[in-house]
Amino acid sequence: MTQDPNAEAQIEPTEVGANAAESGERQLDSDVSDAYGSHERGVDGLDFSSLADLGHTASELDPDAPAVLTVDNLKMYFPVKSSGLVRRTIGHVQAVDGISFEVPQGGSIGLVGESGCGKSTTGRLITRLYKPTGGSMMFEGHDLAKLSNREMKPLRRDVQMIFQDPYTSLNPRHTVGTIVGAPLEVHNIVPKNKVLPRVQELLEVVGLNPEHYNRYPNEFSGGQRQRIGIARALTLNPKMLVADEPVSALDVSIQAQVVNLLQDIQREFDVAFLFIAHDLAIVRHFCPEIAVMYLGKIVEIGDRETIYGRPHHPYTQALLSAVPDVKQAAIGGRRERIRLEGDVPSPINPPSGCRFRTRCQFAQEICAKVEPPLLQIGKRHKVACHFAGELGAHPATPVTTELLGVDDQGSTVPGATPTNTQLTIPGYEKTWYDLGTKQTTGV
């Protein structure tokens, strides 16, 4: 059994989160667990304003937080094998093709996009359920992409995952106590007799009755099961959680409970989140920073206000315009929306140049020839489009020509020197390329 000798010293069984312990608030408010908690406790003595106070507003961005995870040019190609006796590799599914981003400490970044865009693959790469084809994932001085499975094991406790479907992600033959306590035994962190108190403490944290550790998953409702999944992910005090569609399998009224719980956990334990979801409204609420993916690439990344208020990529604009809006009821009828023609192309044979060009109304010759770089165009805003601009104000000529040393049709200009060589770094630079003046500007 490989074991980190510091393990026991690091995590005391009764301590939930080092940061929380320091501030003297070791547990969530018991009101929180009660209010969201099990049905039998009811809501007696709880009025609307006190529950409202427990509900969270949208998470805020801490612009100075250091990065806990830096993903640089991450790639995942799955081989496609031919049929028959000799199964030769005949191609690759380019599920994730060169993405770069940073996850700030205690912050959260949202990944959105249509199914098949590679957002779940990204989550699985970061938890190292897949070994990436290329690129790096720097986490606390280790490159998760290069570690062997053996070297990975002590790091796994810092990066945990919450799964989408609480009905299939819990073993029906194990009790809740076994499920939540399993990580402690795998990593051999606490003596056997300390496992149960820790499990009960975790159940309390996620708003379940600690006495229920002996029950089986089928005795719980969907929302309660998701809480069990969250408790399991929290068992080892992770520094980062990958939440892959954590609420999409739940009923609407329960979704809000779980989102609020995740926000509580983030605030109490300072956990960073990679939040993967296709529900743009939930992502907007939970993540102050959002990356939009299309066919294995990040096409736009930025803070919430920019992505939802002034998106510059035609795909982001189309995606946002397609979301049905409750406020439309006051006006009646359907909202105007941008129609995307056709389906997402196959990631085995993606279009040349810009991958979105086959469905983009602004696409020109340059889009087929040159791939647009993920260019920083604002303090916290990057976009990968030759014709980046606000809705209704897309420029007529490509904005990227000078940077790339090409003409408006995308052919290389002889003698021109591309100005920017480092276009796809993770995180943000102090200076950026201003679309209006076509100059590099700063604060």
Partner 1 sequence: MTSVPMTQSSASERTSSEGPFLEVEDLTVTFPTEDGPVTAVSGLTYSVERGKTLGIVGESGSGKSVSSMAVMGLHDAKSAKISGSIRVGGTEVVGLGESRMRALRGNSMAMIFQDALAALHPFYKIGKQLEEAYLVHHSSASKRDARRKAIEMLDRVGIPQPDRRVDDYPHQFSGGMRQRAMIAMGLINDPSLLIADEPTTALDVTVQAQILDLLQDLQREFNSAVIIITHDLGVIAEMADDVLVMYAGRCVEYGTAKQILVAPEMPYTWGLLSSVPDVTASTDARLIPIPGNPPSLLRPPSGCSFHPRCLHSDKVRGDLCRTELPALLPASTGTAHLKRCHLADPVGVYQNEVLPEIAPDLVEETR
The residues that touch partner 1, with contacts defined as CB under 8 A, are 35-36, 38-39, 41-43, 46-49, 51-52, 55-58, 114-115, 221, 223-224, 251-257, 259-260, 278, 280-282, 284-285, 304, 308, 318-320, 322-330, 332-335, 337, 339-340, 342-343
Closest Cα to residue 227, out of 259, 189, 184, 185? 259
Provide the token pair at 124.
Answer: 């699985």
Could you give the count of Cα atoms lying within 13 Å of 189 in the half-sphere of its Cβ? Answer: 24
State which residue, 324 or 414, has the beta carbon closest to partner 1: 324
> Closest distance between partner 1 and the C-beta of residue 47, in Å?
6
Please tell me whether residue 381 adopts helix, strand or coil conformation. strand
Question: If you write DSSP's letter for every residue of 411-434 in order, what string do you get?
Answer: PBPTT---S-S----SS--SSEEE
State which residue, 96 or 319, has the beta carbon closest to partner 1: 319
> Closest distance between partner 1 and the C-beta of residue 68, in Å?
24
Residue 410 phi/psi, 5-degree rounding, is 95, 5
Give the start-end residues of each E strand in 82-157. Answer: 89-104, 108-112, 134-139, 142-143
Provide the token pair at 109.
Answer: 């970044």
> Closest distance between partner 1 and the C-beta of residue 143, in Å?
33
State which residue, 13 or 107, has the beta carbon closest to partner 1: 107
> Closest distance between partner 1 and the C-beta of residue 328, in Å?
4
> Closest distance between partner 1 and the C-beta of residue 338, in Å?
9
Please tell me whether residue 30 adopts helix, strand or coil conformation. helix
State which residue, 18 or 80, has the beta carbon closest to partner 1: 80
> Closest distance between partner 1 and the C-beta of residue 246, in Å?
14
State which residue, 254 or 404, has the beta carbon closest to partner 1: 254
> Closest distance between partner 1 and the C-beta of residue 281, in Å?
4
State which residue, 122 or 257, has the beta carbon closest to partner 1: 257
State which residue, 216 or 308, has the beta carbon closest to partner 1: 308
> Closest distance between partner 1 and the C-beta of residue 290, in Å?
12
Provide the token pair at 155.
Answer: 């790091």
State which residue, 58 or 413, has the beta carbon closest to partner 1: 58
Q: What is the three-state SS of 198-230?
A: HHHHHHHHCCCCHHHHHCCHHHCCHHHHHHHHH
Closest Cα to residue 353, out of 341, 337, 338, 365? 365
Contact yes or no for 315/294 (Cβ under 8 A)? yes
Q: What are residue 383's DSSP bridge partners?
A: 300, 375
State which residue, 114 or 402, has the beta carbon closest to partner 1: 114
Contacts of 306-310 with CB under 8 Å at 24 or more apart are 306/378, 306/380, 306/381, 308/280, 308/284, 310/390
Contact yes or no for 289/63 (Cβ under 8 A)? no
**How many angstroms separate the CA atoms of 221 and 209, rounded?**
13
> Closest distance between partner 1 and the C-beta of residue 164, in Å?
12
